[in-house]
């Protein structure tokens, strides 16, 4: 199974979002991205997973399967 790894470069992410949503206000897109990065419950987990994956060779990266498990019994 192949997992696409998204680059965690926030400037690049913002440029991609602006290009894909040219009909939306770019300031609003920037504000939404900032809000998500500042408040998303699992953003630290995504960043950590990204760092671990990037330490692997390209060949190993193609074999990685990522799952986010959430215990619904806890906040």
Which range of residues forms the domain containing residue 45? 1-75
What is the pLDDT at residue 47?
80
Q: Is the pLDDT of residue 19 over 80?
A: yes
pLDDT exceeds cutoff 70 at 72: yes
The confidence band for 75, taking pLDDT boundaries of 50, 70 and 90, is low
Count of domains observed in the chain: 1
- The whole-number average pLDDT for the span 7-22 is 81
Distance, CA of 1 to chain centre: 19
Of residues 6, 11, 5, the one with CA closest to residue 33: 11
Q: What is the tens place of the pLDDT at every residue in 28-69? A: 998 998 898 888 888 888 888 888 888 988 888 888 887 777
Alpha helices (H) along 1-75: 10-20, 26-39, 43-54, 58-61
Write b or e for each residue in 34-67: b if 16 or more Cβ atoms lie within 10 A of its Cβ, otherwise e.
eeeeeeeeeeeeeeebeeeeeeeeeeeeeeeeee
25 has pLDDT over 90:
yes
């Amino acid at each position: 199974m192949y997992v696409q790894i998204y680059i965690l470069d926030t400037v690049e992410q913002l440029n991609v979002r602006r290009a894909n949503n040219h009909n939306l206000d770019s300031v609003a897109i920037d504000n939404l991205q900032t809000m998500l990065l500042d408040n998303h419950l699992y953003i630290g987990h995504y960043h950590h997973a990204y760092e671990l994956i990037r330490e692997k060779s390209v060949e190993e990266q193609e074999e990685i399967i990522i799952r986010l498990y959430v215990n619904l019994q806890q906040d």
